[in-house]
Chain A
Amino acid sequence: MRTPFSLNARLAAVAGATALTLTVLSACGGSRGAGGGSKSLEMWTFKQSHVAALRNAAEEFKKQTGITVKVDVFTPDDAFTTKVQSSAKTGGLPDVLETHSDGDDRVFGAAGIVGDIQDQYKGAWLQGIQPAVRDSGLVTDVRYKNALNPEAKDHGIKKGARYSVPLTVGTFGIVYADKRKLAAAGITKPPATWEEWMADLKATTRGNPGTGGLSLGLQVAATGLTWVLQPMAFAELGKQDYMSLFLKDKSKDFGSPNGLKVLKRYDELTPYWMPGTQTLTIDQGDQALAQGKSAFDVGGTFTLAFLEQNGMKADDIMAFPMPEPADAKVKDMGLGPIALTSMCVTSTSKQPDNALKWMRFLSGAKVAARFAKDSSDLPAAQLGAESASVLGPTLSALQKSFKGTSATTYDPNNGGVDFRAPGYEQDDAGAALSDMTPLGRQSVQGTADRLRQINQAAWAKAEAADK
């Protein structure tokens, strides 16, 4: 049966349908770059606590340059990483990213997501950054050599390239406590040793087993390993033996007497975890302290800002570095300041010059001081003599933990040189550790065996990839 439409009408309909389809397709693949205008930048961060401070800085930046900066946050970290990856594939990246330092920046650099800024980030700009973190984002010879292994996540980085500018510094392994709960348990000062900390935990949980314990976002499996066990093991064993836990030599790895010693020590926390801490994300672990569900919380220097954002007053917080065991090889351990977050220019930015201008603006001493106040975080820029007054008493106290020599200072990044096997899976190790504590499903020996297995497997893979 013939349709009652003329050929022209039918062809017009086909043309219309095709145009509509193409419109839909082009809408799906549309680029964000075109709509921004030449005086508009976009920046993404994964740190909720930085958003307000960045927006305040953006207002000031606009006054000075006329350039608008739109700041968006994608949190938690996994969501941010996924967002960046998918946007990179669809051409939807912003101009500037705030990423984890000495990790994501190099990984994104190797993947071509962010650009090399060595020609721009130098001279006075570089000198304005704290000396301890000036090499952050730089592909040094050692970093380049490590990345040559195909198993390395930053495989493909260019020697001598710089992929990021540090924005904030700090460290992990800072313990936060609710002063009111401590006072109720008769505790008035921070513990000097690991043993004293265990005694404090015993005291706070004695009266309140449900709300007197230690919260930590153990749903992110590696947190217990990297924020508690590693700094404690560094102090307990000393730098070289601590590093050996992750090396190939079985006489000194987690299955060795040294490994068993630190695992037993870590297992002492078992009675004191907040109920259900293994189901919490990192943010939820911090929120638990702010909401009075726990008495202690382990985080980093950056945690203070988040606690304050969640309603905790600075006066109610006692903060101290992870205390070392009484028989520790490293006494009075320092916590090395590392670059925690950094800024990168995406390789697809239509305005790299403006993006760099914005990053340099954030690195300025005055802007960094304002950023520190607004975010309660430690900026990477040098603040000068007025640092203490800018940072306030709690942040200044945390900054005092940045001390000591290389041998007595725990640096989570080991100066940006990873001594573990390329491709080592921290999450797998963290999951094994969780099975021991808080879950209590694995013995210390069983955990040591599993950690050795994970370690050896990573080394075997790395060596196979090298060949």
Chain B
Amino acid sequence: MTTAHRGAGAADPAPLSRAPGAGRVRAAPGRGPRRRGLREAVTGYAFIAPAVVLFCVMGLYTVGYGFTLSFATWNGFTPHWEWVGLDNYADLLWRDPVYAPRVHHAALNTFWVMVFAPLLTVAVSFPLAVLLNRASRLQGLLRSVYFVPYVTSGVAIAFAWQYILQPDGAVNFLLKTVGLGSLSEPQGWLGDPATALPTMIVVTVWGAVPVSMLLYLTGLQGIDRSLLEAAQLDGAGWWRTNSAVVWPLVRPITAVIVLLGLRESLQGFQSFLVMTNGGPGDHTNVLGLEAYRLAFLKDLAPTLGLSSALGWLLFAAALILALINLRALRSRT
């Protein structure tokens, strides 16, 4: 069809130019679709434009702004930034006698949280999910109960824990009531540097278990029952089935949980801010909290650049961890 048209046009171009009406009629099939296509494209772009603008303003702009700020000193209000190159990074990492020791100390605390919070989260949530998966009654109710910590306001939880962990709080009271008074903590569980950070890790784990357990539960319910039956036919007991069959099958979920836990440990600081504010002394100071302090609690000292630099260092660390995790996940699955 098209070749025939083209052929006809090529053989007798004059009538086309002489007959305007015919020309319009014959030109329409060529311009019409193009115009419609253009209109559709414009409409499409117009539809996504608000989202793109939002992303540019709320995402790209702020990220770019924060990144450039990490190379400057500024208190947020003076008219000009003072460019300092990589000084903020150097000051935080080793050079500044005031900030570097604080960052090192906070980094060590953060490291312990990153090691133990994900490990304990997995150690608690996987067995819990296995048990819940076997429960024949009240599974829905139990699932909801276990999920309560996740849907409760973080600040409210932090305050509740604070009261529970006081010297005259519920934990010490319980220990004394059951005859384990020697295990109670006279200064409160957040008041003794030896117990404050471990306690904060436990609180972090308590908050992370619900989602982790739900993820495991989803994974457990997706396992082909024939695999479990085959294992049982081969004589594997409950422990053997879970450790040798189920656990390897949910390893990708474990990787996700560990990754989420690492990210939260590295960047989260809400509970630390509310419950200890980094104390006692600065024994529970973590990097996220230090970045917050540098940004907001320095009496408008020009430390926003330092805060931003610390934020980017945290981002770099999180990126490296994510890549390692991804690599490990690929090699095992």
Contacts of B299 in A (CB 8 A): 81, 103-104, 107, 153
Bound together, the chains give a CA A89 to CA B77 distance in angstroms of 8
- Chain B contact-residue range equals 35 or more
Bound together, the chains give a CA A278 to CA B279 distance in angstroms of 8
Q: Is the CB of B282 within 8 A of A81?
A: no
**Chain A 101-119 against B: per-residue CB contact (8 Å), 1 yes, 0 no?**
0011001101111000000
**Chain A 424-436 against B: per-residue CB contact (8 Å), 1 yes, 0 no?**
0100100110110
Q: Is the CB of B279 within 8 A of A279?
A: yes
Binding stretch for chain A, among B39-47, B114-122, B247-255: B39-47
Q: Is the CB of B98 within 8 A of A156?
A: no
Q: Is the CB of A275 within 8 A of B96?
A: no
Can you name 5 extra interface pairs (CB under 8 A) apart from A457-B98, A461-B98?
A25-B54, A111-B75, A150-B302, A153-B299, A275-B188
Contacts known (A111-B77, A275-B191, A279-B188); A221 close to B281, Cβ less than 8 A: yes
Q: Is the CB of A441 within 8 A of B193?
A: yes
Contacts of B75 in A (CB 8 A): 111
Q: Which residue of B lies closest to A104 (CB)?
A: B299
Is the CB of B187 closer than 8 A to any CB of chain A? yes
Contacts known (A85-B300, A108-B300, A276-B167); A113 close to B77, Cβ less than 8 A: yes
Is the CB of B102 closer than 8 A to any CB of chain A? yes
Bound together, the chains give a CA A7 to CA B75 distance in angstroms of 50
Q: Which residue of B lies closest to A15 (CB)?
A: B46
Interface size for A (C-beta < 8 A) is 58
Contacts of A438 in B (CB 8 A): 187
Contacts of A428 in B (CB 8 A): 98, 102, 282
Contacts of B76 in A (CB 8 A): 85, 88-89, 111
Is the CB of B53 closer than 8 A to any CB of chain A? yes
Is the CB of A270 closer than 8 A to any CB of chain B? no
Q: Which residue of A lies closest to B301 (CB)?
A: A153
Bound together, the chains give a CA A432 to CA B105 distance in angstroms of 13
Contacts of A10 in B (CB 8 A): 43
Q: Is the CB of B53 within 8 A of A21?
A: yes
Is the CB of A219 closer than 8 A to any CB of chain B? yes
Interface residues of A in 1-35 (CB under 8 A from B): 7, 10-11, 13-14, 17-18, 20-21, 25
**Chain B 187-199 against A: per-residue CB contact (8 Å), 1 yes, 0 no?**
1101111000000
Which one of B168, B191, B302 contacts A279 once the chains associate, using CB atoms below 8 Å?
B191
Is the CB of B23 closer than 8 A to any CB of chain A? no
Interface residues of B in 8-58 (CB under 8 A from A): 39, 43, 46-47, 49-50, 53-54, 57
Nearest Cβ in chain B — how far from A113, in angstroms?
7
Interface residues of A in 307-353 (CB under 8 A from B): none
Contacts of B301 in A (CB 8 A): 151, 153, 423
Contacts of A439 in B (CB 8 A): 192-193, 280-281
Is the CB of A460 closer than 8 A to any CB of chain B? yes
